[in-house]
Structure 1
Amino acid sequence: MPEQDRPPDRGELPGTGTPRTGLAERLALNHMGSFDWDLRLGTLELDPAALEVFDLRPEEFNGRPNSLYSRVTPEDGARLDAVLNRALHERASSYGMYFQAFLRDGTPRWTHTQGRILRDEGGKAVRVIGIVRDATAELTHSTLLRTLEEDRKRQTSMVERTTQALSRAVTVDDVTAALTGSGGLERFGADGLALGLVDGSMLKLIALTGRSMKVLSDLRLTRVDDDLPLSEAIRRQRPRFIGSLSELADRYPRLRPYIGELEIEAAAYLPLVAQARSIGGLCLFYRDRTHFTAEDRNLCLALAGIVAQSLQRAMLFDQEREFATGLQASMLPRRIPEVTGGEIAVRYHAAWSGREVGGDWYDVIPLPQGRIGVVVGDVEGHDTHAAAMMGQLRIVLRAYAAEGHAPSTVLARASQFLAELDTERFATCTYAQVDLATGDVRVVRAGHLGPLIRHTDGRTGWPNVRGGLPLGLATHFDDHEYPETRLDLVPGETLLLCTDGLVEQPGKDIGEGMDELADAVRHGPHGAAALADHLADGLWARPGAEDDMALLLLRRAPDPGTAKAPRIHQYIHQADPEGLAEARAVLRQALSDWGAGELADDVELVAGELLTNVLLHTEGGAVMTLEIVPSVRIRGPHRVRLAVQDRSSVWPRRRTPGEAATSGRGLLLIDSLATRWGVEPRGEGKSVWAEFRWLATEDGPDDRPEDRPEADSPAP
């Protein structure tokens, strides 16, 4: 057969002698590859040319989409996901976008992908078949490249800033604050914002910010099935982008009354979807925009996805916190009983997250003979087990106290009960029995912080209260000794009990926290409730406060006497070196205020003798009372009465000191300065008193013999 009559070779182009090029080779020569993504199996097939586009070796690709993450930035990955998800939700047949892929050496390469979505008979997407290609040549040095790069940087910045702001949001209120607070609208690139949450069949707007947005306040509560753009986006789980207000008014007549007052040109209504469930909607308003590009739409979807994730996390946290708060509240007393002769205030602050529940507690227990028991404690741990143990321990301690047992016995039995629960937890607490009629306080500690007392003159102090082992540990070590410490609470003084969360801070010594608390109490208001609020406002919001805090304040009612018969009380602690000097200053000031300043020297000297005797020869402090005893006669002389009460049963004894003696002259001095003096029993102790005759200026001088009181001093 002649050569010109032979059929052309199938491997050559006719008439050229050039070998034929297959489809894959033609795509590869144009830096273009193909992929086949099985959505049901989650597998992704890339041909060699596609691997070349991503600069991947065959062994570096495992057939899963996540193998490509190393070549794409997280921002572009989020944008790709958003574009595909939108196409799937809107039942689109295809999608496409530009992004940057990084080569092995870190060089960025502009890449374009386009995919065809295949669906089954039911309309469900099952496969995506498409191409990826190197788009650098077509975009290099072009206006499109610069625009895309600027948009990409802007969008990346918006996504990053929004993600960063919402990453710190823990509660729904935190999310709302991040969206409506400083810089919130700027992060979204919007001029107005509305955020709504789905609550059953209702849609509640929980955030509304931006100029002129207040006109939408009437729509804060609507139904999810209402004919409104945000409700529609939520129901269909599809975004709606509006570039014309007239279009908005025509489609949604209910909005027509508000559109005239809205200073906007466009709006994006975005569903907030989490785990395939609509939890709310986000609406972004714009003044200088009439359309949305594909990139704009993708950015809005990406921002909505970030908000949805943050809201879902915050809603879960709020639910868990509500559960924990309810559990904690059920364990604490529902109400605090009113007491006669004083006032009580309690506060509780939880510094936990989620389902973490503290074991801190407080209680006020009515006791026999008109006394009350006050307790503050803390069970080890921050979980529901700690809260359950706290509830049991509080009830048991309350029962033991109500039976009338001594404070030491109450804690010993509570420790035994805790040990019998067969748990490794222990608890600390401080328990005090208080008689407000006499001011008698009996305190016991079980490894806990002791009480703080604020005196009537504003001074504060931490009395030296002996303590025992924590409850539970005491039984383990067979040491149930809880020694009682006797304190006096004079009228007007305040007793404070708290858990260690109020004084402990990370990186600080507990002594610093105790000083800080004492200073806050010193400068706080006098009333128990007002002082509790003052402490809560000042200390609970401290940075680094990570523990629960329980606070109990008991203030004995002040006893100022009357205008005609004023009275002051002062407690002088045995371990307070400045107590004597402050007591003398209080006496002198009071007498001056009452117009009896001429008696100040005598009263101060007698008080010094009585107080020194108590502080040197007894084992406790002293309660000093100064009062005016008015005359029963119209113009008779008044009396200034000084009384010093202690807990010693030993009465003072008059002695005859020798010339060289250094003591023993105190009663002689009192006898010579006071009009009369005496000793009275007071419970387990006594009260030594002295009276001074005083001619009140309002009555005028009157020194008739019948008004002179008879001496009532004890026999030598």
Structure 2
Amino acid sequence: MDQRGRTPEVDWPARPDLSLALNRMGTFDWDLDSGRMHLDATALEVVALRPEEFDGTAAGLRERVLPSDETRLDRRVAQALADGRSHYGAYFRTSRPDGSTAWTHVQGHILRDPHGRAYRVIGILRDADHDPGEPGATGERDEGRRRMTGVVERTAAILAHARTVNDVTDILKDPDALGHLGAVSVMLGIVDGARVHLVAEGRLGSYVPEIEYTRIDARLPMSEAVRTLQPVFLASREEFQRRYPQLWPYIEPLSVRSGVYLPLIAQGRAIGALGLLYTRDGDFTDEERNVLVALGSGIAQSLQRAILFEQEHDLAEGLQRAMLPRRIPEVPGALIAVRYRAARMGRDIGGDWYDVIPLGEGRVGVMIGDVEGHDTDAAAVMGQLRIVLRAYILEGHTPGTAMARANAFLRDLATERFATCTYAELDLNTGTLLLVRAGHLDPVVRRGDGSCHRVRVAGGLPLGLPPGEPHGAAGGPHGPAGEPGPDAASRARPQDGPGSWPGLWSEAVPGYPVATLELHPGDTLLLCTDGLVDRPDGDPETGMRELLDAVRDGPLDVEELADVLCDLVGDSGGGDDMALLVLRRRGTPAPRGGGPLRQRLSPGDPQGPALARHLIRAAAAAWGAAERADEIELAADELMTNALVHTEGGGHVGMRLTAEGRIRVEVEDTSSALPRRREAGDWAVSGRGLMLVENLADAWGVEPRGGGKRVWCEFAIPHPPAEQHE
């Protein structure tokens, strides 16, 4: 060197390549289209690659980049290319042949064609191990701090939307979430009694069935984190082997060199543990430890919310199942399918319900309803209302009376909840369908020929509303739900056409009019709650049109049709719960010799019983029971006499064929006093009526019927004629 300290062999001014080489700065040229990469001699020296080791591709350079930094470096380059920038820079660590690591800085200039497409990168690779301060200087530390803090914030934001434990585990296994921390494997364990249940393991593929369930007192890092409520940091493979020999056989074949197990603490107790495994060597810095502990705290809060949500969901689902019928009975002559779907809002529980009530003698009652609200109170009110309405119907009350009593019951509960409901009672022998509606959606009927109609049924107020409540208060967007006004008759007898049902008529019942129509064999009745027709845009008519189209074009099978209608809502529903009931009348035998007989019995009318006896004898002969006509007539006469003598107000006598092919005689009266069989003395003038009935008939019995009773007897037909099918 001369007096000025200069190296004599270096020309003045120094050449650029010499300046770069003396400062351990190499150059690279990267063709993005072909993937080729050129590194000059100094660049190869910076990343500790011999010329024969480098294959001339970007992948060949990545072999020297630490895996924990490779993802971050790729993301930095990809972001610069996508954002249209002309430059980028980043620090990363490279591995040396002796096992040590060194910091390197890369700076690239991006070349783009006239259309802005990047096709080439020319840049510099610089040895950053001797930068002032720590390797990578403060910029790298700041970048690392921002990166890790960003991971915590981003993961916390994503976890805020997790509702279930599966949501939490899916997020933790996502490479875009915790993968930014450089972990090659993520494990989540949940405390289950005295054990830790491993519920998630992602990325590394090191699932081990033997450690899926482990005891909290086991000598394992996850168990120790739960037991001590302290994180467990493992800085080397030797530490894994020394501290946890039980775990070492599963770690040894993996590329894992360090790890951390964080206790997930909520309300002062461990609810689980999070394990992160790394391929990096060395202990964790204080800053890394603080960030990881903060991450564990955020995950713990999300996990606790998810566990509580699932517990509440299971409770709500169990309550909903308990409130709804446990099974749907089979009804001869009908095919019935039901569906219930919980709301996607609130507590996944609501007040929608359905029910099927076999009434015997070929009759069945079906109902659908909706109690206001989506909470446990709504479900509890629903259960009470469903049961009480079912009880009123089984007591024998007419549909209108049963609905009126249910209305009074709900008002007496003082719940401040109202409910809408539709009840239909179908006689499968005749097809007669009685309908009563309390502020609910109109039923839909699909005929056997495929035509579909919305049945406009005159209805009363929703159940539970005090008298005088404005009609719009609970009618919802589906039309008037108020009490029948002057136009009730016109609404009960709509003109034929779209949205109407020919032949519908209504009987004036105070409060809740009962409409009657005929359901032919092959016709389908559909009852549903508004969750099936509500749409996010708030237009229920759109939903109703879609429903009618789906019913019209849907399959004949009731189960398949119910599935199609549920799929119709999909994710487009308005967030309400939904109940659906589909009933299809099968093709049944036509009544032999005409329809059922029914006649009024009035006190003081001597011709009534005589005419009834004549009709009963004629019907018995027409139905193939001429040999037993005397027995049938005598038994019927005894029942009619009892009704006229022992009750006030008269009654009705009826005769029909049952589904089992028997002749059934029924006498109804308004007395709730049940008849009792007595032993009559030799000179007694009464007490032999029921004895005669018992000896003449094949079966007899008594049924309470609302404000009265029904006494019946049945006779087998000796030689039934051939059945005629519709």
Shorter-chain TM-score tier = 0.5 to 0.7
Matches for 1:50-65 after TM superposition, within 5 Å:
none
Matches for 1:261-280 after TM superposition, within 5 Å:
261-280=253-272
Aligned to 2:439: 447
Deviations 1:442-495 (A, max 9, x none): 211110012223344544331222222111226556974322233333333332
Aligned to 1:302: 294
8 A Cα contact 1:321 1:354, kept in partner: no
AA aligned opposite 2:385: L
Deviations 1:257-315 (A, max 9, x none): 32244343322111101111000011112234544222222222111111101011121
Matches for 1:323-402 after TM superposition, within 5 Å:
323-351=315-343, 355=347, 357-402=349-394
Aligned to 1:713: none
Aligned to 1:191: 184
Matched, 1:521 2:551: yes
Matches for 1:72-471 after TM superposition, within 5 Å:
143-181=136-174, 183-186=176-179, 188-214=181-207, 216-351=208-343, 355=347, 357-471=349-463
Shift of 1:236: 0.7
Shift of 1:560: 13
Matches for 1:577-588 after TM superposition, within 5 Å:
none
Aligned to 1:489: 519
Q: 1:265–1:543: structure 2 CA closer, same or farther, 3 Å change rule?
A: farther
Q: 1:326–1:284: structure 2 CA closer, same or farther, 3 Å change rule?
A: same
Rounded to whole Å, the distance in 2 between the matches of 1:423 and 1:158 is: 49
8 A Cα contact 2:432 2:518, kept in partner: yes
Rounded to whole Å, the distance in 1 between the matches of 2:281 and 2:573 is: 45
Q: 1:255–1:384: structure 2 CA closer, same or farther, 3 Å change rule?
A: same
SS in structure 1 of the partner of residue 535 of structure 2: coil
Shift of 1:201: 0.6
8 A Cα contact 2:151 2:178, kept in partner: no
User: Which one of the candidate residues 533, 557, 560 is aligned to 2:563?
Assistant: 533
Shift of 1:153: 1.6
Q: 1:436–1:253: structure 2 CA closer, same or farther, 3 Å change rule?
A: farther
Q: 1:464–1:223: structure 2 CA closer, same or farther, 3 Å change rule?
A: same
Q: Which ranges of structure 1 fall in alignment gaps of 5 or more residues?
A: 1-137, 562-681, 684-716
Matched, 1:542 2:535: no
SS in structure 2 of the partner of residue 336 of structure 1: coil
SS in structure 2 of the partner of residue 473 of structure 1: coil
Aligned to 2:583: 554
SS in structure 2 of the partner of residue 254 of structure 1: coil
Rounded to whole Å, the distance in 2 between the matches of 1:432 and 1:391 is: 19
8 A Cα contact 2:445 2:452, kept in partner: yes
8 A Cα contact 1:440 1:486, kept in partner: yes
SS in structure 1 of the partner of residue 201 of structure 2: strand
SS in structure 2 of the partner of residue 165 of structure 1: helix
SS in structure 2 of the partner of residue 163 of structure 1: helix
Shift of 1:165: 0.7
8 A Cα contact 1:185 1:192, kept in partner: no
Shift of 1:143: 4.4
SS in structure 1 of the partner of residue 247 of structure 2: helix
What TM-score comes out, normalization by structure 2 length? Answer: 0.54
Shift of 1:238: 1.0
8 A Cα contact 2:346 2:374, kept in partner: no
8 A Cα contact 2:368 2:579, kept in partner: yes
Greater relative contact order (Cα < 8 A, sep 6+): 2
Q: 1:320–1:497: structure 2 CA closer, same or farther, 3 Å change rule?
A: same
> CA RMSD, aligned part only?
3.0
Deviations 1:157-176 (A, max 9, x none): 21121011111112222222
Rounded to whole Å, the distance in 1 between the matches of 2:409 and 2:307 is: 39
Rounded to whole Å, the distance in 2 between the matches of 1:514 and 1:558 is: 28
8 A Cα contact 1:176 1:206, kept in partner: yes
Q: 1:182–1:241: structure 2 CA closer, same or farther, 3 Å change rule?
A: closer
SS in structure 2 of the partner of residue 467 of structure 1: coil
Rounded to whole Å, the distance in 2 between the matches of 1:377 and 1:182 is: 47
SS in structure 1 of the partner of residue 354 of structure 2: strand
SS in structure 2 of the partner of residue 330 of structure 1: helix
8 A Cα contact 1:185 1:191, kept in partner: no
AA aligned opposite 1:255: L
AA aligned opposite 2:537: G
Rounded to whole Å, the distance in 1 between the matches of 2:449 and 2:170 is: 44
Alignment: residue pair count: 425
8 A Cα contact 1:466 1:483, kept in partner: yes
Shift of 1:142: 9.0
8 A Cα contact 2:175 2:203, kept in partner: no
Rounded to whole Å, the distance in 1 between the matches of 2:456 and 2:306 is: 46
Shift of 1:364: 0.9
Deviations 1:15-73 (A, max 9, x none): xxxxxxxxxxxxxxxxxxxxxxxxxxxxxxxxxxxxxxxxxxxxxxxxxxxxxxxxxxx
What TM-score comes out, normalization by structure 1 length? Answer: 0.55
AA aligned opposite 1:179: L
Shift of 1:370: 2.4
SS in structure 1 of the partner of residue 338 of structure 2: strand
Rounded to whole Å, the distance in 2 between the matches of 1:226 and 1:292 is: 25
Rounded to whole Å, the distance in 2 between the matches of 1:438 and 1:257 is: 76
AA aligned opposite 1:178: I
SS in structure 2 of the partner of residue 213 of structure 1: coil
AA aligned opposite 2:544: M
8 A Cα contact 2:229 2:270, kept in partner: yes
Q: Which ranges of structure 2 fall in alignment gaps of 5 or more residues?
A: 1-130, 470-482, 485-509, 591-655, 658-726
Q: 1:271–1:491: structure 2 CA closer, same or farther, 3 Å change rule?
A: same
Deviations 1:108-154 (A, max 9, x none): xxxxxxxxxxxxxxxxxxxxxxxxxxxxxx99999442122101220
Deviations 1:203-226 (A, max 9, x none): 112222113233x23322222122
Aligned to 1:67: none
SS in structure 1 of the partner of residue 582 of structure 2: strand
Q: 1:302–1:403: structure 2 CA closer, same or farther, 3 Å change rule?
A: same
Aligned to 2:632: none
Rounded to whole Å, the distance in 1 between the matches of 2:182 and 2:523 is: 58
8 A Cα contact 1:212 1:261, kept in partner: no
Rounded to whole Å, the distance in 2 between the matches of 1:464 and 1:240 is: 70
AA aligned opposite 1:507: D
SS in structure 2 of the partner of residue 507 of structure 1: coil
Matched, 1:511 2:541: yes
